[in-house]
Structure 1
């Protein structure tokens, strides 16, 4: 983490008042331990906007895994929570189902349960102050717009919906979500029509000369490669990899070539097999970062081949099917007709809001795909006593146990921390739709093998930021709408796609306010996905919000400054979603030697224990919305069997 230059920070607008920001993370490391000593989460109850606006999408500053949401889970992990928590106090509440985790998987589990048991009483508990897990909606109120400007964090699109799991497709059908309906409100031609394309920022963190390089589809690679700030030898190597790479292993059968690729990362393939200049590897390093959470030093060469990365054309691999060594998502998306279908302006949280609105009367004024974006929401209805279904936010679960022997138990007891004390409820069944690594610290009576398998579900850290800008003229002048950085802190900056909804118009004129989306991948990829995730998460928790905002402003100034962008004047709001436990990493080569033949740790990790079943994307594992839905349906089926 670099130091902040006070003079440069002033120029970037760090001292300019914008929509308020919360500094919980600035004391995150100390605050995580506060709950163990005081019995209260660090930072108190969820913050509100000035004027008392408690609508979560309008809260800015640090969101996601704040110190508030992490204090109790980390105290449990470190064995400090129960020393100070006191004896649990029963609420007297009894539910047919309690769901731990209010993300896509947890809400889907509740929704599926009610299909089978429509009169059931259901409680959803989550440690965050917002529903949806990593699927988040952000809102800004730019002066003069006449309404909200909506952005998102988490999944923006339904990726390859034609290839979704049967359970995922079933949920979309029940919600009335169709590709045709979604595509109606996407203006795919807006940015290209304004001469805006994708680009690569060869940044000063990687190369001696910083510069933006547009990737215009009609321009041959020779034109832009020759302008890159890389060595002459690297230019020759890169052009060869892009246009006519040789067969690196002549005479070997295809099966053996695939097996060799399965043992390599893409960085190792470029450097050790292709013998490419190091500048070539540095130029490509962040290619997978935004989607996978780690770079080419961890990304498998076999998946890089299937993803269309340069260097493989001469190997003679079968272009008609994926390799058996490719990761599950790469196999699933192979040849998909619909690659990326934007899911309304707020992304995947729209699915969660539709489900919650249908389960909890009065929460939403509309629950259809055409009405969810502009609906009104009453968070006060989520946990109303008269509801059959209740959603209790800022309520981290601290204990789950079967009432008696798991083989014969007919109920379970669930304890959660309400900010002051531990409260318990009775449940006929429990679905754990939280991080798998949390489960061993919460669920009593797990077999040792299952505890070990659950603890191995190490998630990849991720950062997302949504920035509201006064206008996007500088993006048009730069001729880009989406830019990958080769080595700076934020690996991706993009103008949000022009996605509207009935009653909601996306910004069409570059003079209008807009939202910008940024992604950072803190994983230390050189250590591999698991080791890199742990190291990156530790560093992320030590990174203060000031530094995150500083890097956002600095990178936008470097990218767009030549087009007249002034971060001090043009940035009007910043929201950062921090996910120390972000993507659920898939089994993949070269890191999991048991893949694809098994046995798989997840098969052991997700075993039902009496009245407790395990869902969540970790239990698949895969960082996909349809995988989370499938895990939810499976857990419900196990409990109802």
Structure 2
């Protein structure tokens, strides 16, 4: 929902695709994976929205405003693009484009103490905290998606009689050491104890099987194909890459024995310079290495920062584990943690093990169970994993707390002067018409950029601050392979693919919880996790790149993603005997055109870290409305989403007592220390 109208134009229905080519048949594109393309197949243009009766506004949905949802079980959708689909985005795109001007909807006759816009972790946390402080409160949660949790989504598969569960978005409860008392209190109240992951997560799984990280060189990018296992002997594995002679020599130096590329400067002077220098410029202009090395590392920072090294500062790249800076004698190095396969990842004093099989979808499910107890069976943390969510209970009449999916809020306005009004009217689109409810309070736990489209009650300065927060677009694909023998033969747990469409592929986290058991033998099926975080041309402003990437995501179909997936796995794992036509059992593509909250970084954000920060103004509530979501903290983590939801609920009720929440993005000792703060 970007004001520049660059995000996510919905395409018209495509022409029928031709039959598979010989290359497609070799990849297995003809194999019987059930395909549903929510983007192109449904063709949610403004005209299509109108054709369904959503324009002109005012026609009531024949099925009523609420009631149990009908249809398939969302987590089990396969052969499809899911997440933020064209269907889910259609209403807001029409609102953005001016083809929808919401007027008075049909009243449902419902009155709630609280309406929450957004059923992600932040919105669910706000509802939970509001109910804790105001027992018996009537709460309605609205969300346009077909599943709960927002970006914390879940994919389920059944292969050979075995259930496999993967994460389609928000990945882990990262860094419990940074959790505020409010986060710890909320997690504990819904039955989640992070320390128990020490028993659920098998930290020896990869080492016991002799698996490590690797790199796949796509011949279209590098001239010849190669899959190289990274070993401790850097010169050895680098020598087996397709890099030119100079690049191999310089890459070995950067990793093994980096020089002081800024001689004669103090540590403070170096830090100041590197804070305002992208890692790409550090490589090319300061270290003056071969351009192939910049290409090799271009996407190495995307999974942490959402941007390539042409935007990420050199100090942040250092924290990310990128090489070349250890020889500059910058002082204490940032804390670094290891990925499951042993690769250095970003600053983090904790091991990266706090992961449900479905990622933070189980956090969302735990919150939903606390709000709507009949929706999931009672039990401990493992019960969250295998319990089947009863979607019919979410919006059942008679429940004090109701979750209404497939419902897009389009207008929020106080009934009277916001300073003195006693209620707020919320209008939402659902199933063919506009509906209104009345609330005593509202939490907007949606993206910051959506909010100016929902209300006309904000001053221009706050609207501008809200528009600063641009979501990072990303795609997570879960691919079930029938066996992982090719990984065993190649000695791989994961590989990255510099310059390829996908950033890389990993064997899923080795987590077993109760009756849910991770793979044991190479003949067991496993889920592979693939990532794409698209951007624009090198050097463009980071927010412009996100908008370009968002447009790409909405342009591509499931078939496009499937073809790239099969090509990557066939190319990278072929030497291990992998056949994409034979060995791929299922694919689900999770598209998040508006994915992670944007985290401020130098050199793109000159106000960081000294301030003033746009979020300080952007998240200010007014009247009976408060603002939540991880955007409010400019920090893309589940604990930030929880903190912001708790803060919003307390603001509405004027409560200051209780476990404290973190005021802003994460610990100063983490991000701020790179700038000498």
Per-residue CA deviations over 1:291-322 (Å, capped at 9, x if unaligned) read: 33222122211101223321112211111568
Q: Offset of 1:38 from its aligned partner?
A: 4.3
TM-aligned CA distance change 1:176 to 1:24, over 3 Å? closer
Instruction: Tell me the equivalent position of 1:327.
Output: none
TM-aligned CA distance change 1:251 to 1:511, over 3 Å? same
Q: How far apart, in 2, do the equivalents of 1:454 and 1:367 lie?
A: 40
Q: Within 5 Å, give how 1:466-481 maps onto structure 2.
A: 466-481=478-493
- 3-state SS, counterpart of residue 141 of structure 1: strand
Asked if residue 416 in structure 1 is aligned to residue 428 in structure 2, the reply is yes
- 3-state SS, counterpart of residue 221 of structure 2: coil
Q: How far apart, in 2, do the equivalents of 1:515 and 1:77 lie?
A: 37
Instruction: Tell me the equivalent position of 1:78.
Output: 97
Asked if residue 31 in structure 1 is aligned to residue 45 in structure 2, the reply is yes
Instruction: Tell me the equivalent position of 1:108.
Output: 125
Q: How far apart, in 2, do the equivalents of 1:37 and 1:577 lie?
A: 27
- The range that moved more, 284-293 or 119-128, is 284-293
TM-aligned CA distance change 1:333 to 1:298, over 3 Å? closer
Structure 1 gaps, min length 5: 46-51, 323-331
Q: Paired residue for 2:401, among 389, 413, 436?
A: 389
Asked if residue 119 in structure 1 is aligned to residue 139 in structure 2, the reply is no
- The range that moved more, 186-195 or 460-469, is 186-195
Per-residue CA deviations over 1:27-83 (Å, capped at 9, x if unaligned) read: 577635522454349xx99xxxxxx9721110121101111101001111111112x
Per-residue CA deviations over 1:395-435 (Å, capped at 9, x if unaligned) read: 01111111111111221011110121110001111111111
Q: Paired residue for 1:489, among 462, 476, 501?
A: 501
Asked if residue 542 in structure 1 is aligned to residue 548 in structure 2, the reply is no
Q: How far apart, in 2, do the equivalents of 1:205 and 1:166 lie?
A: 50
TM-aligned CA distance change 1:595 to 1:352, over 3 Å? same
Is the 8 Å Cα contact of residues 36 and 80 (structure 1) preserved in structure 2?
A: no
- 3-state SS, counterpart of residue 627 of structure 1: helix
Q: Paired residue for 2:229, among 209, 214, 230?
A: 214
Q: How far apart, in 2, do the equivalents of 1:120 and 1:166 lie?
A: 24
Instruction: Tell me the equivalent position of 1:171.
Output: 186
Q: How far apart, in 2, do the equivalents of 1:272 and 1:33 lie?
A: 51
Q: Offset of 1:585 from its aligned partner?
A: 1.1
Q: Paired residue for 1:460, among 449, 458, 472?
A: 472
Q: How far apart, in 2, do the equivalents of 1:28 and 1:234 lie?
A: 47
- The range that moved more, 244-253 or 193-202, is 244-253
TM-score, structure 1 normalization: 0.92
TM-aligned CA distance change 1:577 to 1:335, over 3 Å? closer
Instruction: Tell me the equivalent position of 2:5.
Output: none
Instruction: Tell me the equivalent position of 2:365.
Output: 353
Q: How far apart, in 2, do the equivalents of 1:503 and 1:143 lie?
A: 17
Is the 8 Å Cα contact of residues 319 and 346 (structure 2) preserved in structure 1?
A: no
- 3-state SS, counterpart of residue 148 of structure 2: coil
Structure 2 gaps, min length 5: 1-16, 56-60, 63-69, 336-344, 655-677
Per-residue CA deviations over 1:316-371 (Å, capped at 9, x if unaligned) read: 1111568xxxxxxxxx97451x1312322111010110111111131001253131
TM-score, structure 2 normalization: 0.87
Q: Offset of 1:13 from its aligned partner?
A: 1.5
- 3-state SS, counterpart of residue 269 of structure 1: helix
Instruction: Tell me the equivalent position of 2:339.
Output: none
- 3-state SS, counterpart of residue 45 of structure 2: helix
Q: Within 5 Å, give how 1:55-454 maps onto structure 2.
A: 55-60=73-78, 61-82=80-101, 87-145=104-162, 148-216=163-231, 219-319=232-332, 334=347, 336=349, 338-454=350-466
Per-residue CA deviations over 1:584-618 (Å, capped at 9, x if unaligned) read: 11111000001111111111111102111110011
Q: Offset of 1:551 from its aligned partner?
A: 0.5
Per-residue CA deviations over 1:109-146 (Å, capped at 9, x if unaligned) read: 1111111012101111000000011111111111233x
Q: Offset of 1:188 from its aligned partner?
A: 2.1
Per-residue CA deviations over 1:3-31 (Å, capped at 9, x if unaligned) read: 9972211221112112x221221257763
Instruction: Tell me the equivalent position of 2:533.
Output: 521
Cα RMSD after superposing both structures: 2.1
Q: How far apart, in 1, do the equivalents of 2:531 and 2:364 lie?
A: 22
Q: Paired residue for 1:506, among 513, 518, 525?
A: 518
Query: Structure 1: which 4+ aligned runs deviate by more than 4 Å?
Result: 27-30, 332-335
Q: How far apart, in 2, do the equivalents of 1:247 and 1:29 lie?
A: 55
Q: Offset of 1:167 from its aligned partner?
A: 2.7
Q: How far apart, in 2, do the equivalents of 1:143 and 1:227 lie?
A: 38
Is the 8 Å Cα contact of residues 460 and 523 (structure 1) preserved in structure 2?
A: no
- 3-state SS, counterpart of residue 351 of structure 1: helix
Q: How far apart, in 2, do the equivalents of 1:335 and 1:294 lie?
A: 19
Count of residues in Structure 1 that have an aligned counterpart in Structure 2: 614
- 3-state SS, counterpart of residue 274 of structure 2: helix
Is the 8 Å Cα contact of residues 64 and 579 (structure 1) preserved in structure 2?
A: yes
Q: How far apart, in 1, do the equivalents of 2:333 and 2:225 lie?
A: 39
Is the 8 Å Cα contact of residues 103 and 132 (structure 1) preserved in structure 2?
A: yes
Is the 8 Å Cα contact of residues 144 and 406 (structure 2) preserved in structure 1?
A: yes
Q: Offset of 1:179 from its aligned partner?
A: 3.2
Q: Offset of 1:88 from its aligned partner?
A: 0.7
Q: Offset of 1:543 from its aligned partner?
A: 1.3
Q: How far apart, in 1, do the equivalents of 2:594 and 2:107 lie?
A: 30
- The range that moved more, 496-505 or 589-598, is 496-505
Q: How far apart, in 2, do the equivalents of 1:429 and 1:226 lie?
A: 63
Q: Offset of 1:232 from its aligned partner?
A: 1.0
Per-residue CA deviations over 1:251-292 (Å, capped at 9, x if unaligned) read: 222222111111111111100111010111111122112333
